[in-house]
Amino acid sequence: MSKKRTKYTSAFKTKLVLELLQNESAIVQIASKHNILPQNLQNWKKTFLANAEIAMEPSKAVKEYKDELIKAQMRNERLTTLVGKVTVEKEWLAKKLKSLGSSNRKQLVDLKPSLLHASYSLSVNHQCQLLGVNRSGIYYKPKVNNTKQSIKNHITKVFEKIPIYGEKKVHQQLLEDGYKVSLNTVARYRQELGLKAVLAVKQVNTTIPIKAHKKYSYKLRGLNISHSNHVWSTDITYVKIAGGMVYMAAIIDWHSKAVLSHRISNTMDSQLVMGVLNDALEKHLHPHPHPHPHPHPEIFNTDQGSQYTSEIHTKRLKDLGITISMDGKGRATDNICIERFWRSAKCERIYLNEYQSISDLITDMDDYIEFYNHQRFHETLKYKKPMDVYQESIKLNQEKKKVS
């Protein structure tokens, strides 16, 4: 069992040092008399003499002690302020880091950390702990899905070319371009890319009836429109350009949704509606193969506007044996086919542009209707294109008539 170390009081040490300083006995004698080691006595003397000045001038020692204490307190206050500042900054950075995704935080890790201080650096493991990421995932390099990236790139190209397409039409475009992909996948990729169809919606009214003009009943209610040139319909809409409003008239085939003719004018009169009617008849009037020609369309639908109830317009239709149909008063849905076309044209093109002149509008509408007829997928046509459906139906009807 080890011997406990003897502890000596300050008074005892001072007494022995004073006895030693009297220089009357040898250090060994004094040590032996008090049962201590000579080395201890020698060390006590050294300490006593080193602090003798304090005994002579205690006020000076106290002052120096106070000065050191004040300096220490000031250093402590500066360190406390610094620690507080660093703590606030750390908490702020921690909150910001939490808002970053895991992949972004992983990118902040320095795999070859340098010294932040002469004797301190942040190890990779410590960095991961501070950033709240798993160290095992730092060195993982995800495999690039080339097929996915290719599809995403093509979706972006379709959006840049046709920004009005929603996910269903984009999906149909990808299928046509040779990509094997589901609708849900296209929808998810578009969401990841942040792509949405660019559309706008406005409405105006162009129907101005005249009481004196004869009105015709609506012939399309419950009608099974089974082929192209069965029913055509027409309408006029406003388009805003720099300096005012202009008017656009169009004729559409109900079965195929193909736009057969369109015109733009600065006046809404009979010249506009007759021009678009004659243009459609010249382009799309197909005679019956039998000796007695049968004019097309069979039915022509309009609203009750004065341009359509005018004698010149109704006479042109009746001379060709075309049945005249007119919407009920205030019933825009009776002419829903052309109304939907107007919505598409305005949301997908017109409202997205500012036209400086009529010629600018004419050029852009020619381009849009070419796209609408020959490139744009139509949901009600099972994602076929209007003019393809129109031509297929005409060809099929002609073959049926030849057989009969």
Indicate whether 97 belongs to any domain: no
Indicate whether 235 belongs to any domain: yes
Which segment of 34-43, 78-87, 99-108, 218-227 scores lowest on mean pLDDT? 99-108
Q: Which of these, 346, 373, 360, lies nearest to 260 by C-alpha position?
A: 373
Supply the range of the domain harboring residue 152. 146-193
The per-residue pLDDT of the chain, averaged, comes to 80
Q: Is the pLDDT confidence value at 305 over 80?
A: yes
**Same domain membership, residue 179 and residue 125:** no
Residue with the bigger pLDDT between 386 and 113: it is: 386
Report the alpha-carbon angle 76-81-87, nearest 5: 120
**Same domain membership, residue 363 and residue 261:** yes
Indicate whether 69 belongs to any domain: no
Q: How far apart are CA 328 and CA 337, in angstroms?
A: 15
Other CB atoms within 10 Å distance of the CB of residue 194: 6
Distances, alpha carbon 287 to alpha carbons 80, 303, 314, in Å: 98, 27, 21
> Do 70 and 63 contact (CB within 8 A), yes or no?
no
Q: How far apart are CA 125 and CA 119, in angstroms?
A: 17
Q: How far apart are CA 286 and CA 293, in angstroms?
A: 9
Indicate whether 34 belongs to any domain: yes
Listed in sequence order, the residues at least 6 apart from 138 whose beta carbon sits closer than 8 Å to its beta carbon are 106, 109, 111, 124, 128
The residue with tokens 């003009």 is 213
pLDDT tens digits, 219-232: 888 899 999 999 99
Give the three-state DSSP class for 227.
Answer: coil
At residue 11, the pLDDT reads: 87
**Same domain membership, residue 35 and residue 155:** no
**Same domain membership, residue 240 and residue 187:** no
Indicate whether 83 belongs to any domain: no
CATH number of the domain bearing residue 292: 3.30.420.10
At residue 372, the pLDDT reads: 95
Indicate whether 286 belongs to any domain: yes
Q: Which of these, 98, 94, 120, 121, lies nearest to 110 by C-alpha position?
A: 121
pLDDT tens digits, 370-384: 999 999 998 889 999
Between the ranges 46-50, 54-58, 215-219, 312-316, where is the mean pLDDT highest?
A: 312-316
**Same domain membership, residue 356 and residue 264:** yes
Between the ranges 21-30, 111-120, 180-189, 294-303, where is the mean pLDDT highest?
A: 180-189
Residue with the bigger pLDDT between 307 and 286: it is: 307
At 75, the pLDDT band (50, 70, 90 cuts) reads: confident
Q: How far apart are CA 330 and CA 336, in angstroms?
A: 13
Indicate whether 225 belongs to any domain: no
**Same domain membership, residue 341 and residue 299:** yes
Listed in sequence order, the residues at least 6 apart from 129 whose beta carbon sits closer than 8 Å to its beta carbon are none
**Same domain membership, residue 171 and residue 40:** no
At 41, the pLDDT band (50, 70, 90 cuts) reads: confident
Q: What does the block give as tokens for 292?
A: 């007695």
At 199, the pLDDT band (50, 70, 90 cuts) reads: low
At residue 294, the pLDDT reads: 43
**Same domain membership, residue 40 and residue 112:** no
Element (H, E) at 120: strand 120-121
> Do 51 and 44 contact (CB within 8 A), yes or no?
no
β-strand partners of 231: 299
The residue with tokens 């040092």 is 17
Q: How far apart are CA 158 and CA 164, in angstroms?
A: 10
Give the pLDDT mean for 185-204. Answer: 72
Considering 122, 138, 154, which residue would you say is the last residue of a domain?
138
**Same domain membership, residue 370 and residue 237:** yes
Which segment of 25-34, 327-336, 394-403 scores lowest on mean pLDDT? 327-336
Other CB atoms within 10 Å distance of the CB of residue 249: 24
Domain count, the chain: 4
Indicate whether 80 belongs to any domain: no
**Same domain membership, residue 152 and residue 134:** no
**Same domain membership, residue 187 and residue 41:** no
**Same domain membership, residue 301 and residue 363:** yes
